[in-house]
C-alpha cells in the first residue's frame, strides 16, 4: 500500500496507474547503455537498436544518446525508427514486397536483403541507399531450435558463396545474425574466427560488416575487454566498420510487469490468479516454455502456482515459494519484462492491456499509455 502511495505521489499530472502495467526503469536501462558506450569508445563499433525486441519510443531520447540508430524487420519498424529515433535506419526484411520497397526508401539509410534473388530484383530501385546482404554462415548459438538462425533448412540469409562473389560489386556491406542470447565469449570469438576464414576475401571490398544481435555482453561478468579486443582486431584486419544490432542486450533487466492477485484457488496446489496473462502480455514465455522471473524464496514455506486469467489452460507464469501467504490484492512483480513483451502484447480474450509507464532518471513516473475499450475495438473489424 505504501509503495502505491509513493507511486501516486510521483506520477505525472492527470495520469492514473493501475495494474497490470509495464514499468520501465531508465536507471536500469542506463546501466546497459553505459556498457555500450564503453565498447564504442574501445573498439569503434556502432550499435543500432533491434526494434523487433523493443520499440517503446518513450525512452528513445535516453537511448539515442548512446546508440547510433535502429534496425528493423519491416516497413513499419523502419518508419518508426526514422520518425522516433531519428538517427541511422537499417532496414531488413526476410522478404520485401515491391510496394514496401517503394515506401521504405523514404525512411532507410541502409537496406539489407535476405536473399540474392531479392537483391537482384530490387537493386535498381535503391538510388542513394547503401545496400547490404544477410549471409547465413552456417554456425550459430542458440539454446532454442526455434530461434536458431542457422537451423536446418533456414531461410535466413544467403548460403551460396560462389553466388556471393558475383554480387559483391552491388553491395556495401553484409550482415551476419547468428546469435541468440549468447553469453559465451569463447563461442562468439571462435565463430568470428570461422567467419573471418570463410568470408575474409569479401570484406576488403566492403564498407561495413554487421554481426547482428543476440550477444549478451551486458550480462554480469561478461569479459567486455576481451570482446572489445576481438571486435577491434576484426575491424582493423579488414578495414570495415563493425555494427551490432542488440535488442534484449540493451534493455535486459530494465522493466517489470506489475500485476495483482485477483483470486486464489486450490487444486493439488494453491494457484494465485493475477490480472495479467502469459498468452497476452509475455508471449515468449509460452513460446519457449520458460517461467517468469518472479522473486522466489527457496526457503519459503508457501508454494503457489502463479497463473494468468485468460481461458487458456496453460496460461501459467510458473511455480514459486514465498515466505508469507499471498492474498487477494497482493502485488507481484515480474522482472526482466522489457524484451519481446510490449512488441508482442495482444488482445487475446479481450483482456485489459497493461499500461506502459516509465520511471525517469529523476524518479518521476510517467504513465505513457493507458489502453481502453476503444483500442480493443479498433484492433478488430
Please give the residue range of the domain that contains residue 107: 27-251
CATH number (domain holding residue 323): 2.40.37.10
Q: Which of residues 209, 235, 251 is at a domain's end? A: 251
Same domain, 169 and 260: no
CA–CA dist 55, 360 (Å, integer): 17
Which H helix or E strand runs over 88? strand 88-92
Q: Are 308 and 197 in a shared domain?
A: no
pLDDT at 228: 98
Same domain, yes or no, for 103 and 245? yes
Residues 243 and 297 in one domain: no
Task: Verify that 147 and 184 share a domain, yes or no.
Answer: yes
How many Å apart are CA 248 and CA 239, to the nearest integer?
28
What is the spatial distance between Cα 221 and Cα 239, in angstroms, rounded to a whole number? 30
- Across the strands, what pairs with 132? 112, 173
Q: Identify the pLDDT of residue 297.
A: 84
Give tens-digit pLDDT for 147-180.
Answer: 999 999 999 999 999 999 999 999 999 999 999 9
Rounded to 10 deg, the angle between the 224-238 and 26-43 helix axes is: 40
What pTM, to 2 d.p., does this model score? 0.93
Is there a single domain that holds both residue 187 and residue 333? no
Domain boundary among 222, 251, 280: 251
Spatial contact of 58 and 368, defined as CB atoms under 8 Å apart:
yes
Same domain for 19 and 39: no
Residue 68 sits in a domain whose CATH number is: 3.20.20.10
* 22 within 8 A of 342, measured Cβ to Cβ: yes
Task: Find how far residue 235's CA is from the centre of its chain.
Answer: 25
Nearest CA-CA partner of 133 in 148, 118, 147, 121: 118
Dihedral pair phi/psi, residue 136, rounded to 5°:
-95, 105
- The answer to whether the CB of 102 falls within 8 A of the CB of 93 is no
| Same-domain status, 330 and 233 | no
**pLDDT at residue 16 in the model:** 77
Cβ 226 vs Cβ 42: under 8 Å: no
Q: What would the grid cell of residue 373 be? A: 475499450
Q: Among 251, 280, 312, which residue terminates a domain?
A: 251
3-state helix, strand, coil in the chain (%, to 5): 35, 25, 40
User: What is the pLDDT at residue 299?
Assistant: 81
Q: Which of 40, 5, 49 lies closest to 254 in space, CA to CA?
A: 49
* The three cell numbers locating residue 176: 551476419
| pLDDT tens-digit series, residues 194-213 | 999 999 989 989 999 999 99
Contact partners, residue 33, CB within 8 Å, separation at least 6: 62, 63, 65, 66, 67, 250
**Alpha-carbon torsion (376, 380, 292, 267), positive or negative:** positive
Residue 162 preceded by cis peptide, ω within 30: no
Burial-class residue 83 by CB neighbours within 10 Å (0-12, 13-18, 19+): exposed
Residues 233 and 305 in one domain: no
Q: Which of 14, 77, 40, 69 is nearest to 367 (CA)?
A: 14
Q: Are residues 85 and 9 in the same domain?
A: no
Q: Could you give the number of structural domains in the chain?
A: 2
Same-domain check for residues 235 and 264: no
Q: In sequence order, what are the residues at sequence separation of 6 or more whose Cβ sits closer than 8 angstroms to the Cβ of residue 279?
A: 286, 308, 310, 312, 315, 346, 348, 349
pLDDT in tens, the chain (381 residues): 444 444 444 555 446 799 999 999 999 999 999 999 999 999 999 999 999 999 999 999 999 999 999 999 999 999 999 999 999 999 999 999 999 999 999 999 999 999 999 999 999 999 889 999 999 999 999 999 999 999 999 999 999 999 999 999 999 999 999 999 999 999 999 999 999 999 998 998 999 999 999 999 999 999 999 999 999 999 999 999 999 999 999 999 999 999 999 999 999 999 999 999 999 999 999 999 999 999 988 888 999 999 999 999 999 999 999 999 999 999 999 999 999 999 999 999 999 999 999 999 999 999 999 999 999 999 999
The rounded mean pLDDT for the chain is 94
- Same domain assignment for residues 75 and 217: yes
Amino acid at each position: 500500500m505504501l509503495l502505491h502511495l509513493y507511486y501516486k505521489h510521483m506520477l505525472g499530472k492527470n495520469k492514473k496507474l493501475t495494474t497490470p502495467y509495464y514499468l520501465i526503469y531508465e536507471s536500469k536501462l542506463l546501466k546497459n547503455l553505459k556498457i555500450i558506450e564503453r565498447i564504442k569508445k574501445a573498439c569503434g563499433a556502432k550499435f543500432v537498436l533491434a526494434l523487433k525486441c523493443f520499440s517503446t519510443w518513450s525512452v528513445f531520447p535516453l537511448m539515442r544518446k548512446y546508440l547510433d540508430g535502429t534496425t528493423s524487420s519491416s516497413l513499419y519498424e523502419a518508419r518508426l525508427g526514422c520518425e522516433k529515433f531519428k538517427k541511422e535506419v537499417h532496414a531488413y526484411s526476410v522478404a520485401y514486397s515491391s510496394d514496401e520497397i517503394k515506401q521504405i526508401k523514404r525512411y532507410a539509410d541502409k537496406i539489407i536483403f535476405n536473399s540474392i534473388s531479392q537483391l537482384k530484383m530490387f537493386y535498381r530501385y535503391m538510388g542513394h541507399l547503401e545496400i547490404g546482404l544477410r549471409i547465413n554462415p552456417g554456425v550459430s548459438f542458440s539454446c532454442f531450435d526455434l530461434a536458431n538462425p542457422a537451423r536446418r533448412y533456414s531461410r535466413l540469409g544467403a548460403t551460396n558463396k560462389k553466388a556471393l562473389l558475383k554480387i559483391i560489386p552491388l553491395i556495401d556491406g553484409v550482415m551476419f545474425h547468428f546469435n541468440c542470447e549468447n553469453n559465451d565469449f569463447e563461442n562468439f570469438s571462435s565463430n568470428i574466427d570461422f567467419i573471418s576464414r570463410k568470408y575474409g576475401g569479401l570484406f576488403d571490398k566492403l564498407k561495413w560488416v554487421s554481426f547482428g544481435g543476440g550477444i549478451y555482453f551486458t550480462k554480469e561478468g561478461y569479459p567486455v575487454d576481451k570482446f572489445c579486443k576481438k571486435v577491434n582486431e576484426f575491424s582493423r584486419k579488414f578495414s570495415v566498420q563493425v555494427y551490432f544490432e542488440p535488442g534484449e542486450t540493451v534493455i535486459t533487466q530494465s522493466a517489470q510487469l506489475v500485476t495483482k492477485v485477483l483470486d486464489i484457488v486450490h487444486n493439488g496446489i494453491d494457484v494465485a490468479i493475477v490480472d495479467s496473462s502469459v498468452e497476452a502480455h509475455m508471449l515468449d514465455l509460452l513460446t519457449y516454455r520458460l517461467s517468469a522471473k518472479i522473486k522466489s524464496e527457496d526457503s519459503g514455506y508457501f508454494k503457489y502456482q502463479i497463473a494468468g486469467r485468460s481461458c487458456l489452460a496453460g496460461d501459467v507464469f510458473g511455480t514459486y515459494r514465498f515466505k508469507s501467504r499471498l492474498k487477494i490484492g497482493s502485488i507481484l512483480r515480474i522482472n526482466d519484462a522489457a524484451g519481446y513483451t510490449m512488441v508482442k502484447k495482444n488482445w487475446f480474450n479481450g483482456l485489459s492491456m497493461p499500461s506502459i509507464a516509465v520511471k525517469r532518471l529523476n524518479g518521476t513516473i510517467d504513465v505513457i499509455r493507458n489502453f481502453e475499450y476503444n483500442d480493443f475495438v479498433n484492433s478488430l473489424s
